[in-house]
Amino acid sequence: MGTMRRQALAVMLTELCKLAREHRVDAVTIAGDLYNQYGVIPQTVELLASQFAALYPVRVFIAPGQADPYLPNSPYTVYPWPDNVHIFARSVLERVDCAPGVSLWGAAYPAGRGHMALDNTRVNGEGQHLLLLHAVQADRAGLEQMFYVNDAAVRSAGFAFALLGSAHEGRLTPESGAIAAYPGSPEVLYPDEQGGRHGAVLLTVEDGRCEPTWIDTARWRYVSRVVDVGGCSTPEKIVARVLDRLEHELTTVHSVTLMGIPQCPVIAADIQRAIATKTDVHVLVSLRLDLPRDLDSLKNEPTVRGTLVRRLDQQTKGVRSAEDVAQQRAALHLALQALDGKKVLWNEIDPD
């Protein structure tokens, strides 16, 4: 699935550049996280550069972000980017003219310590001033190395609009009379982004006004499925029950959680592999199985089983997170199965 997703992102880059040409934009802006510094390969950089070069004479402005910081050994510094690409190299705001009567201010996300707010910033001069930044929206920085902004600060600093990065799920803010946009990632990247928007923002600057238009681009999506496998006597029956709940679309990734009390041992990795042999649909399997025992009764046993249950009871009293409680119960489940003579494998608990 990883190879397919990477190929889909490469196609998305082509589609986004095609959108820019269709709308006859004056400039393309990227607010960071264009690639991952610690996993980028030369072919990715070459693809980016070739697509940007094909946009000429449209200019491409990049404000490096947290995943793609401007470093001495980064692709931003060592690769010969096309002449129409401008990369903001400093962690202080820099002004460039991106279109007649429109100025763009940008900065590189700080690779070391340091932070930026707009509290003491005031832009001036004729025309419209836009901000391009990889920043979180907050009233104050949670970390010293972060850039942070908010709607009031954008207005107070004199910017007509802010083009921002860092959030994978896109949004305009505020919803009414937006002054800032997070386009987000053009494709959904993680299961917890199921309800978010992913796309591009077309910003029209005309007659002293900035009008953002949202363009949805995502083709992939994640969906969550909870499948009750209670009573299943074989792994094959569990697989069949899961297959009945899937949507058979190649661009859908299913995050499947198995619940209930099956009558057979369940290993998440084995179920996932078995599903892969029967369908092209992408499935990620995790376990949240119930304990097929009366814990209150076991707690009173003068046995090793009783000791395990009593210790779990003591440990969960100080745990606030439901996720932590679920993980402890899953560990107890495996321990009790081991006492019953079942071999417990290292990959039976979902690593999350």
**Does residue 210 surpass a pLDDT of 60?**
yes
Q: CATH assignment of 2-216, given 2.70.70.10, 3.30.460.80, 3.60.21.10, 3.90.700.10? A: 3.60.21.10
Tokens of 135: 């920043």
Would you state the pLDDT for residue 57? 96
Best CA proximity match to 311, nearest among 104, 200, 321, 301: 301
Q: What is the C-alpha to C-alpha distance for residues 281 and 274, in angstroms, rounded to an integer?
A: 12
What percent of the chain clears pLDDT 90, i.e. is strictly above it? 46
Cα dihedral sign, 343-346-347-349 = positive
Average pLDDT, the chain: 85
DSSP string, 21-85: HHTT-SEEEE-S-SS-TTT--HHHHHHHHHHHHHTTTSEEEE---SSS---TTSHHHHS---TTE
Mean pLDDT of 184-212: 88
Instruction: Give residue 4's pLDDT band: very low, low, confident or very high (50, 70, 90).
Output: confident
Residues 144/198, Cβ–Cβ less than 8 Å:
no
Q: Is 101 left (phi over 0), alpha (psi -120 to 50) or beta?
A: left
- pLDDT, residue 344, reads 45
pLDDT digits (tens, 9 = 90+) for 98-149: 888 999 999 998 766 566 777 678 888 888 999 999 988 777 655 555 788 8
Q: What's the pTM?
A: 0.75
What's the confidence (pLDDT) of residue 189?
84
Q: Which two tokens stand for residue 250?
A: 């190649």
Amino acid at 127: G
What's the rounded mean pLDDT across residues 160-173?
92
Cα gap 111→90, rounded to integer Å: 10
Q: Give buried/exposed letters for 264-278 (b at 16+ CB in 10 A, else e).
A: eebbbebbbebbeee
Mean pLDDT on 330-343: 64
> What is the predicted pLDDT for the residue at 281?
85
pLDDT in tens, 30-86: 999 999 998 899 999 999 999 999 999 999 999 999 999 999 999 999 999 999 999
Give residue 348's pLDDT: 43
**Spans of all domains in the chain:** 2-216, 221-339
